[in-house]
Amino acid sequence: MGLSDSVLAAMIGAAATIGTALFQLIHSWRAQAAGDRRTKRSGFRSLMMLLIIMAASAVAGYALSEYRAQTLRDETHALRQELQQQVKILETSTARLELVNRAADEQTHASELRRQGTDGVEGLVQVPACKGAQIAFAAERSTCSESEATHIAVCAIVPAKAQVSEVLLFSRADNSQQPWSESRVMMGQDAGGARFVDPPIERAHSENAKQVCSAYMHWASDQGHAARIVVKYAL
């Protein structure tokens, strides 16, 4: 078992005291060996006094050792309490910092969503040229009629709590160099064999998002079309 420095110092001091006392006792016995009985009694008393001194030295050394050990324990306990307090303060500060960062992230995210709502969220699809029915064994197919049109939904994803303020509709031919700003159409307007039909609808997409969709029909046989919607909203 390991000994602390204070206990070891006390043991060394006690051993030195005991050695000194034994040396003096032996010297006293030799000096009084030729003495009378009275002298022997005096030597016995001296022996008792030395034993008492030795016992007192041992007790004092042990008490000193315990005092130092108790002081060390008290200091260790105080240091442990201080460290625990510092850890609690650090944990509290960390939690507050996380809350601040989370609030800042949420605020930044909300600002980004508002900006997107102002600019508009886009939905875009490419529709190939419509292929009519094959006539007999002819290689070519007939042109599509409006009744044979392809029906699709053009959708944009917005936040679930968004209030849709406007849905802009665009349609243009494939490979067209015309800017989107010049390709805007109205609901039901013929865009060269294609048109948007029915008002936009909203439907669930996920827990935090929803879809805003507009129906689009395409029957042009000579070329495909690109259909685009831009949904503007407010939170």
C-alpha 108/C-alpha 78 separation (Å) is 45
pLDDT at 41: 61
pTM above 0.75, yes or no: no
CA separation for the pair 154, 169 (Å, rounded) = 10
196-212 confidence digits (pLDDT tens): 998 999 999 999 999 99
> What's the pLDDT band for 27 if we cut at 50, 70, 90?
low
**69-126 confidence digits (pLDDT tens):** 788 888 888 888 888 888 888 888 888 888 888 877 777 777 787 788 788 899 999 9
Q: Give the pLDDT band (50/70/90) at residue 191.
A: very high
> Could you please report the per-residue DSSP string of 10-76?
HHHHHHHHHHHHHHHHHHHHHHTTTS-HHHHHHHHHHHHHHHHHHHHHHHHHHHHHHHHHHHHHHHH
Q: Which residue has the higher pLDDT, 98 or 228?
A: 228
